[in-house]
């Protein structure tokens, strides 16, 4: 379906003749390992053994700090230069010129659609936004104060019971239908989780509206027969979805791939991805960032807050990134979107706190030395709050945006002949061959 860009193929061809020579000082033996695409294969280390009994050398890499878990042609990031591209297209251009659904097509299909391909794609996604009525009954079972991410993860998993065919993961048509369903139904589930929190009636999808306009309608429509979102707000939210659409091997994409690698259905894998996204170090950071801004309250409290962070009392939420060590290109675009939304909704005093916090942190040695910059979550929470959303909904909006990325990552993994069920090794550190003692004698 997709091909690598010529530059990557060229680099691959160049690197096949490159090797790494390793000498095992335990035995004095040397080994020549092929280097391909800037990597050595961890399995090639297994031949390095002290004797026949030895299992062979492994790498120890908690949190995959320096391990490529796959080859991928979906998203390119250069963290030092602040570059993010989906299928080779810079995020800045997509944010300015594309729409979320077109970007979703790009991620899933590997190329920009023609007019007719895009029309068909929009038609397909639009006509799969309804969810089975039983889902409503399930949502009703949750307490009114259930976190909507928990509700979203559960409902996404529940879709696997409604579409049992989705487990036929080797069938490309079934895979495509499931990806369309995931992208289409996520806003409906998200909006219904929100309405449940507020005790409001659920709103059905409106096929006359855009993907994002329909989401806003399902969120906010009351008794009016038709909901028309403010255009500037609708556009800003669409851009936010584009910015969140994929981010290569992040925690939730890795969860999607790892769970999907057992050949389970993609709804179950997406539920796992939502669980991963929920955490405060990942998609939950936008919720935490807003709570932090509220806790700081006003500009004069910032120096004290920074002092506390520097002495190890908590983190500056919405700052720092495993990959970006210069700036997060999404952070720059999102700041512009915050201004656009607040022009419509009116200012937010917390925006002043955020801007000042960013200014002070970017000049502070602690943050400069550690290369900590605002990430996508620093300003997104402010936008969501300006839309009148409670903080619990922030990671849910992230999940809507990230769904095409999860789908594309999963689809690529399923077709990758290098992949097998994800199953890391471990370094065992516990006791061995202990004698079981009866409870009375312990």
Q: Is 281 in the site for ligand ACO (CB under 6 A)?
A: yes
Residue 91 exposure: Cα atoms within 13 Å on the Cβ side: 26
Between 181 and 282, CB nearer to ligand ACO: 282
Question: Which among 41-49, 90-98, 203-211, 275-283 is the span making contact with ligand ACO, rule CB under 6 A?
Answer: 275-283
Considering only residues 82, 260, 275, 318, which one is a binding residue for ligand ACO as defined by CB under 6 A?
A: 318
Q: What distance lies between CA 167 and its chain's CA centroid?
A: 23
Catalytic pick among 208, 377, 416, 435: 377
**φ, ψ (nearest 5 deg) of residue 185:** -90, -15
Between 320 and 405, CB nearer to ligand ACO: 320
Task: Considering only residues 343 through 402, tell me which ones interact with ligand ACO, judged by CB under 6 A.
Answer: 370, 372, 375-377
Minimum distance between the CB of residue 401 and ligand ACO, rounded to whole angstroms? 10
Catalytic pick among 238, 265, 282, 328: 282
- Binding residues for ligand ACO, rule CB under 6 A, total 18
Whether 282 is catalytic: yes
Q: CA 214 to CA 122: how far, in whole Å?
A: 13
Q: Which residue has the tokens 């006509």?
A: 127
Between 358 and 377, CB nearer to ligand ACO: 377
Minimum distance between the CB of residue 318 and ligand ACO, rounded to whole angstroms? 5
Catalytic pick among 246, 247, 321, 328: 321
Whether 144 is catalytic: no
Dihedral sign for Cα 241, 162, 267, 156, please: positive
Residue (of 68, 401, 402) closest to 253 by Cα position = 402
The CB-nearest residue to ligand ACO is: 320
As a dihedral over the C-alpha atoms of residue 23, residue 27, residue 32, residue 37, rounded to 10 degrees, the angle is -60
Considering only residues 291, 315, 325, 332, which one is a binding residue for ligand ACO as defined by CB under 6 A?
A: 315
Residue (of 267, 327, 342) closest to 84 by Cα position = 327
Residue 199 burial (C-beta neighbours within 10 Å; 0-12, 13-18, 19+): exposed
Q: CA 234 to CA 211: how far, in whole Å?
A: 10
Max intra-chain CA distance, the chain: 80
DSSP type of residue 63 = G
How many C-beta atoms surround the C-beta of residue 65 within 10 A? 7
Considering only residues 70, 258, 285, 350, which one is a binding residue for ligand ACO as defined by CB under 6 A?
A: 285
Q: Is 282 in the site for ligand ACO (CB under 6 A)?
A: yes
Considering only residues 291, 322, 325, 332, which one is a binding residue for ligand ACO as defined by CB under 6 A?
A: 322
Whether 321 is catalytic: yes
Q: 86 pairs with which residues across the strands?
A: 75, 89
Residue 186, helix vs strand vs coil: helix
Between 87 and 244, CB nearer to ligand ACO: 244
Minimum distance between the CB of residue 25 and ligand ACO, rounded to whole angstroms? 30
Catalytic (active-site) positions: 282, 321, 377
Residues that bind ligand ACO (CB under 6 A): 281-283, 285, 309, 315-322, 370, 372, 375-377
């Amino acid at each position: 379906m997709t091909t690598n860009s010529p530059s990557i193929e060229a680099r691959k061809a160049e690197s096949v003749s490159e090797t790494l020579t390793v000498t095992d000082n335990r035995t004095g033996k040397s080994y020549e390992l092929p280097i391909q695409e800037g990597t050595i294969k961890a399995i090639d280390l297994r031949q390095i053994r002290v004797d026949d009994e030895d299992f062979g050398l492994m790498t120890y890499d908690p949190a995959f700090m320096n391990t490529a878990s796959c080859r991928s042609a979906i998203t390119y990031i250069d963290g030092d230069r602040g570059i993010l591209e989906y299928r080779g297209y810079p995020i800045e251009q997509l944010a300015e010129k594309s729409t979320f659904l077109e970007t979703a097509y790009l991620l899933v299909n590997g190329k920009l659609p023609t007019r007719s391909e895009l029309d068909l794609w929009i038609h397909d996604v639009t006509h799969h936004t309804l969810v089975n009525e039983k889902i409503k009954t399930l949502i009703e079972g949750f307490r009114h104060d259930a976190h909507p991410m928990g509700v979203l993860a559960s409902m996404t998993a529940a879709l696997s019971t409604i579409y049992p065919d989705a487990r036929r993961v080797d069938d490309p048509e079934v895979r495509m239908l499931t990806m369309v369903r995931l992208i289409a139904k996520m806003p409906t589930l998200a909006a219904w989780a929100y309405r449940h929190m507020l005790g409001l009636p659920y709103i059905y999808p409106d096929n006359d509206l855009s993907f994002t306009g329909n989401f806003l309608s399902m969120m906010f429509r009351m008794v009016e027969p038709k909901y028309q979102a403010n255009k500037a707000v609708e556009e800003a939210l669409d851009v936010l979805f584009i910015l969140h659409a994929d981010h290569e091997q992040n925690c939730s994409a890795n969860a999607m791939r790892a769970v999907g690698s057992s050949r389970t259905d993609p709804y179950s894998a997406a539920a796992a991805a939502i669980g991963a996204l929920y955490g405060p170090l990942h998609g939950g950071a936008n919720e935490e960032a807003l709570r932090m801004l509220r806790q700081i309250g006003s500009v004069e409290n910032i120096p004290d807050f920074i002092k506390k962070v520097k002495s190890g009392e908590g983190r500056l939420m919405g700052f720092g990134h495993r990959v970006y060590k210069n700036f997060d290109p999404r952070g720059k675009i999102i700041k512009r979107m915050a201004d656009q939304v607040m022009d419509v909704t009116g200012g937010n005093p917390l925006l002043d706190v955020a801007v000042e916090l960013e200014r002070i942190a970017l000049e502070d040695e602690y943050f400069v030395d550690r290369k900590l910059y605002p990430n996508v979550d620093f300003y997104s929470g402010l936008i969501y709050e300006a839309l009148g959303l409670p903080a619990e909904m922030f990671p849910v909006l992230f999940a809507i945006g990230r769904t095409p990325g999860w789908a594309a990552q999963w689809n690529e993994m399923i077709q990758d002949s290098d992949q097998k069920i994800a199953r890391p090794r471990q370094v065992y550190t516990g006791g061995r061959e202990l004698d079981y003692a009866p409870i009375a004698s312990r």
